[in-house]
Amino acid sequence: MRFDWSAVGAFLPTFAKGLLVTLQALVLGSLIAFALGLVWALAQRSPLKAVRWPVTAFTEFVRNTPLLVQLFFLFYVMPEWGLTLSALATGVIGLGLHYSTYTAEVYRSGIDGVPAGQWEAAIALSLPRRRTWTAVILPQAIRRVVPALGNYVIAMLKDSPLLFAIGVLEMLGEARQFSSQTFQTVEPYTVVGVAFIALAYPASLLLRALERRLVR
């Protein structure tokens, strides 16, 4: 097996561009997933059936169908509805939306994990509903779900190459382009593969350390 180190060197500049796009997509996608997931989780606890039921059905549907097809859906269907976004923006929305249905479950279990006594104490002090959520329940719930949320950031990282399918030039997209221009296949795909492990493994070690500190 020949491994051409000069091809690695030639690939590095475009790889760096791709890495930047991957990280952009990851950060923005995570922000959407964290925010939207919380919205779903709260809506699923709504006293109104008309809110609870459709939100549960929607999140179940999104969670149990492939991200790739959802990306195609957003990429081809949104323009038909008169909304044309860049490939990256579409990808970020798709990634964030898909993973928001996972983070919703994480928040849900975090909220369920706050002891009943905390709700009772808030009632005994007559705290308004909104204040109970923002000052008592959510700070405790989010603290205990930080490691789980982190897990989904890593999962999102590993799904980010899917954005290449709608034309985003992230790491895999750059590798594909490089290999079609230079006919060097082994090196770019290997570099990208190693890059993912190099990003994901330390991140998961960090999370495990964090988990030990946060979860008593």
Comparing CB distances to another protein, the nearer of 88 and 199 is 199
Q: Work out how close the CB of 31 gets to another protein at its nearest, in angstroms, rounded to a whole number.
A: 19
Comparing CB distances to another protein, the nearer of 20 and 212 is 212
Q: Work out how close the CB of 64 gets to another protein at its nearest, in angstroms, rounded to a whole number.
A: 4
Comparing CB distances to another protein, the nearer of 12 and 131 is 131
Comparing CB distances to another protein, the nearer of 129 and 181 is 129
Q: Work out how close the CB of 98 gets to another protein at its nearest, in angstroms, rounded to a whole number.
A: 10
Q: Work out how close the CB of 160 gets to another protein at its nearest, in angstroms, rounded to a whole number.
A: 8
Alpha-carbon distances of 213 from 47, 93, 144, 206, 209, rounded to whole Å: 35, 32, 10, 11, 6
Comparing CB distances to another protein, the nearer of 19 and 196 is 196
Q: Work out how close the CB of 34 gets to another protein at its nearest, in angstroms, rounded to a whole number.
A: 14
